[in-house]
Amino acid sequence: MTMDNVDNIFDDEDFGLETPIVDIVEPTHVEPSNDDFFTAEDTVITEDGVLDTLLKTKGITNSKVTILDENNEEQEVDFYGLSKEEQLEILNSSEESENYDLDDSEIDLINHLRSNNLSVTDFLAQYREELLAEFQQEVEPSYDIDNYDDQELFLLDLKNKYDLTDEELQAELEKELQNEDMFTKKVTKLRSEYKQLEDQYKANQQAEFENQREEQYNKYANTMVDVASNISDFHGVFLEDNEKNETLSYLLDLDNSGSSQFSKDLNDPAKLYEAAWYLRYGKEAFQALENAYETEITRLKKLVDKPKAVVQNSKNKITDINQLY
């Protein structure tokens, strides 16, 4: 068959080069499969990436997340290697659903800050003011006279100053109450006077206490000085004057709190035990040392006092007789 025998299909009118009719097909939305959600290839991890920024708000950097495996052990994995459900669970997590290992007190503090619209600085400043107010309340002096109300105080003062019957006291009170403003001024003045009397009484009591304590301390100090003067040695160990003075200073010198170094050391359990051991076994220990020392001295003296003689050998050489033994 030759080419001439083949009909030219392009000569057919049905296949003319007219403008073809093309149907426009709208693109359809394709749901992602359950096997894949976000992948590293689909999302470029950059600092400006929306997804990466969202992950950072969840505490996830470089797409690394920590999960619990089937053995309930922590394992670090890549976010983009997780399933769709796991990725969504992480992205949908909120601060309210995470406790960040906070205990109840820490959670209560955070809730308190939020509910009162306080910053940490505001909270600390408020807390400081509360502490100062509480401290001032604690150091504020209390007075017994404050246990009496105004009318009781007025009657108490009248009874202390004048020999009045109960009926007379009540009559005076009723007369004063006819002018309440004047009555309040009088009672306020009375209360101030009684507080001054209480202050003076407490000051006198404190001074008397200090005097008694000073007398006791002086008596104790004089006793210790007498003891130091009368003791010349401890179990054969001679005491120098400077040692006696240092020991007295250790016992008697007081700091601002009124405590000596000796009393403070006795509050140390180790030093207290050491002092107890010395009081129980110190004499025996010194005696053992003294006996050992005297034994050694006696032995050395015998060696020193051992008689020496010389002999002349056949070659006219001097020889120590001690070398013969």
Position 278 pLDDT exceeds 60: yes
The string of DSSP codes covering 71-129 is TS-EEEEEGGGS-HHHHHHHHT--GGG--TT--HHHHHHHHHHHHTT--HHHHHHHHHH
CA dihedral for 176, 179, 184, 190, sign (positive or negative): negative
Residue 255 domain-assigned (yes or no)? no
Together in a domain, 85 and 112: no
Instruction: Kindly report, residue by residue over 103-148, the tens digit of the pLDDT.
Output: 778 888 888 888 888 888 888 888 888 888 777 665 677 889 999 9
Rounded to 5 degrees, φ, ψ at 32 are -65, 150
Burial status of residue 65 (CB atoms within 10 A of its CB: 0-12, 13-18, 19 or more): buried
The total number of structural domains that make up the chain? 4
176 and 206 fall within a common domain: yes
**For 148-155, which contacts have Cβ atoms below 8 Å and span 24 or more sequence positions?**
150/183, 150/184, 150/187, 151/177, 153/187, 153/190, 153/191, 153/194, 154/183, 154/186, 154/187, 154/190
Does this model's pTM top 0.75? My answer is no
Task: Please give the sequence-ordered ranges of beta strands (E in DSSP) within 177-262, or none if there are none.
Answer: 233-234, 237-238
Given a contact cutoff of 8 angstroms between Cβ atoms, the answer to whether 232 and 225 are in contact is no
- Identify whether residues 2 and 58 lie together within a single domain: yes
Based on the fold, state whether residues 214 and 150 are members of the same structural domain: yes
Give a yes or no: residue 133 inside a domain: yes
- What's the whole-number mean pLDDT along residues 154-181? 91
Compute the distance between CA of residue 269 and CA of residue 117 in angstroms, rounded to an integer.
50
Following DSSP, what letter does each residue of 19-69 receive, concatenated?
PPP----PPPP-PPPTT-S--TTTS---TT-HHHHHHHHTT-BTTEEEEE-
In angstroms, the CA 126 to CA 118 distance is 10
CB within 8 Å of 250: residues ≥ 6 apart: 260, 261, 262
> Does the pLDDT of residue 100 top 90, yes or no?
no
Q: Are residues 5 and 83 in the same domain?
A: yes
In a domain, 304, yes or no: yes
User: Tens digit of pLDDT for each residue in 226-252?
Assistant: 999 998 888 777 889 999 999 999 989
Q: What mean pLDDT comes out for the span 4-20?
A: 45
Sequence length of the chain is 325
Same domain for 314 and 295: yes
Is the pLDDT score of 320 beyond 60?
Answer: no
Domain identity same for 76 and 43: yes
Q: What is the mean pLDDT of residues 262-271?
A: 88
- Do 31 and 77 fall within a single domain? yes
Q: What is the pLDDT of residues 37-75, one digit of tens each?
A: 555 555 444 444 677 777 777 667 777 877 777 777 778
Would you say residue 267 lies in a domain? no
Average pLDDT over residues 251-263: 87
- How far is C-alpha 95 from the geometric centre of its chain's CA atoms? 30
Q: Specify the residue for token string 């020193």.
A: 304
Closest CA to 38 of 1, 97, 85: 85
Q: Are residues 293 and 214 in the same domain?
A: no
What average pLDDT is seen over the chain? 76
**Residue 32 within any structural domain of the chain:** yes
Q: Which of 200, 223, 246 represents a domain boundary (last residue)? A: 223
What separation in angstroms does the CA of 94 have from each of 48, 63, 110? Answer: 21, 18, 16
Q: Given pLDDT bands bounded at 50, 70 and 90, which one contains residue 15?
A: very low
**Nearest Cα to 241, choosing from 251, 232, 250?**
232
Residue 219 · residue 273 · CB < 8 Å:
no
Same domain for 114 and 160?
no
For 191, left (φ over 0), alpha (ψ -120 to 50), or beta? alpha
- 12 or 155, which is more confident? 155
Q: Which domain holds residue 322?
A: 283-325
Q: Measured between alpha carbons, how far apart are the two ends of the chain, in Å?
A: 148
87 belongs to a structural domain: yes
Confidence of residue 255 (pLDDT cuts 50, 70, 90): confident
Q: Is residue 272 assigned to a domain?
A: no
Residue 160 lies in a domain: yes
